[in-house]
Amino acid sequence: MSRRLCARRTEGVDKNIWVEFTKLAADYNAVNLGQGFPDFPPPKFVQDAFCEALRGGPMMHQYTRAFGHPRLVETLSRFFSRIVGHEIDPLEEILVTVGAYQALFSAFQALVDEGDEVIIVEPFFDCYQPMVRMAGGKAVYVPLRPKAAGGGAVLSSGDWVLNPEELRSKITPRTKAIVINTPNNPLGKVYKIEELQMIADLCIKHDMLCVSDEVYEWLTYDGAKHVKIASLPGMRERTITVGSAGKTFSATGWKVGWAMGSGKLIKRLKAMHQMSVFDCATAAQEAVAQGFEREYEVFGTPESYFLQLPAMLYHKRNKLAACLQSVGLQPIVPEGGYFIIADISSIKVDSRDLSTEDEPYDFKFVKWLIKEKGLATIPVSAFYSPGHSKEFDKYIRFCFVKEDSTLDAAEDILRNFIQ
């Protein structure tokens, strides 16, 4: 092709840390606390539901309703209406997508235009930035910062906060939306109601939309409460709430997600959806529907997977945090989510052992840790904008949603090399 082959929208969005680091972990057979997926199966009741769906006759193998399998959207509507305290219309206010990822993509494509600015709170799940860019938007960043603790170490994700003045200063007449993620990846922060109220006030005052990524909504620890910003006054009509069956049911490979919001917003996401994937897989949606029906019945009881999973992960979190502490890595204990980040500044690594590429320190450290010690993690500066990554290049991210045997193996490695 003598002319230019690829479209301009592919520029600057081609690098992807997951592709790079997943491959590295695989190449070195590392103990993998890197990518965020459980190395245990989903609960039996959803696995059974999937098998049952597959044996459910010809229609389970053919196209279903493009915007969401009827049984699934009805169940999601029933389940979440009870939580938010108002009726969510299953056909108008819910769009089922191929994972939360495609819900985010649809939201940005539907709502962000050339020249729109989108505020992204850092550290951020890395896909927000290329998605904003691909939609023609400009990402504007505002970081969560550790509170200046009085002489003590910063120990919890709750200590990382937004500066309201700083946030306000980033808003311009071009600001279309703000993206928040609670519980947060990678930090684990669970935004408190007053923090969300502060953001909501700004959204309303400046007529901004809010994209709220809540994939880890059931995973809160130490009594932290997940709050839906869409439930605050004035926010319902301007918020897209994104959810994930993969994270909800420990089945990331099912790729069933959703966006919920007011009909006039969802209508635009539907338009994008029908131009990109059109339908989502039928049997998986049927299985997720059954999962939510079951959880609706046992909600709040000890049977509920939405209580059992965070209870199980709480112990794993504590186990890993204790280990990291004992070897001199300083964990920021997460109030929610799948991950724990740790400060690596006190670990001395011979600079001759680190790569000479021009990349942030944490990238070099993580690569060294994979290659030399066989332990895979993710560098946290990958979750920061280029402008701020130098401030935050001394943290690495661990996923603790793993079998105890995996966590034990990781601990052995850490104890062995950090004397």
Terminus-to-terminus CA distance in the chain, angstroms?
57
359 HSE (CA, 13 A, CB side):
16
Instruction: Considering the complex, state which of residue 220 and residue 252 has its C-beta at the smaller distance from a second copy.
Output: 252
Residue among 32, 77, 109, 185 that touches a second copy (CB under 8 A) = 109
Cα separation of 133 and 137, whole Å?
5
CB of 165 to a second copy, least distance (A): 20
Cα separation of 214 and 84, whole Å?
14
Three-state DSSP class for residue 157: helix
Structure tokens at 217: 């909504």
Instruction: Considering the complex, state which of residue 134 and residue 162 has its C-beta at the smaller distance from a second copy.
Output: 134
Strands (E), 273-377: 330-332, 339-343, 375-376
Q: Write the binding mask 176 to 215 for a second copy: x where contact by CB under 8 A, - elsewhere.
A: ----------------------------xxxx-x------
Cα separation of 81 and 299, whole Å?
13
CB of 8 to a second copy, least distance (A): 6
**Subset of 21-40 contacting a second copy (CB under 8 A):** 22, 35, 37-40
**Which region among 124-132, 182-190, 296-304, 314-322 touches a second copy (by CB under 8 A)?**
124-132
CB of 323 to a second copy, least distance (A): 23
Cα separation of 151 and 157, whole Å?
17
Cα separation of 419 and 416, whole Å?
7
Instruction: Considering the complex, state which of residue 286 and residue 411 has its C-beta at the smaller distance from a second copy.
Output: 286
Q: Is 9 in the site for a second copy (CB under 8 A)?
A: yes
Name the DSSP letter for residue 333: B
**Subset of 288-307 contacting a second copy (CB under 8 A):** none
Length of the chain: 419
**Which region among 6-14, 182-190, 318-326, 339-347 touches a second copy (by CB under 8 A)?**
6-14
Cα separation of 378 and 392, whole Å?
13
Q: Which residue has the tokens 């990402």?
A: 139
Specify whether the CB–CB gap between 238 and 268 falls below 8 A. no
Q: Is 344 in the site for a second copy (CB under 8 A)?
A: no
Q: Write the binding mask 72 to 101 for a second copy: x where contact by CB under 8 A, - elsewhere.
A: --------------------------xx-x
- The dihedrals phi and psi of 154, each to the nearest 5 degrees, come to -85, 115
Q: Write the binding mask 240 to 279 for a second copy: x where contact by CB under 8 A, - elsewhere.
A: ----------xxxxxx--------xx-xx-xxx-xxxxxx
Q: Is 13 in the site for a second copy (CB under 8 A)?
A: yes
Instruction: Considering the complex, state which of residue 8 and residue 352 has its C-beta at the smaller distance from a second copy.
Output: 8
**Subset of 48-67 contacting a second copy (CB under 8 A):** 50-51, 54-55, 57-64, 66
Residue among 20, 237, 297, 372 that touches a second copy (CB under 8 A) = 237
CB of 57 to a second copy, least distance (A): 7
Strands (E), 203-329: 209-213, 239-244, 257-260
Specify whether the CB–CB gap between 212 and 182 falls below 8 A. yes
Instruction: Considering the complex, state which of residue 278 and residue 353 has its C-beta at the smaller distance from a second copy.
Output: 278
Instruction: Considering the complex, state which of residue 281 and residue 342 has its C-beta at the smaller distance from a second copy.
Output: 281
- The dihedrals phi and psi of 141, each to the nearest 5 degrees, come to -105, 145
Q: Is 354 in the site for a second copy (CB under 8 A)?
A: no
**Subset of 125-184 contacting a second copy (CB under 8 A):** 127, 130-131, 134-136, 173-174
Specify whether the CB–CB gap between 347 and 419 falls below 8 A. no
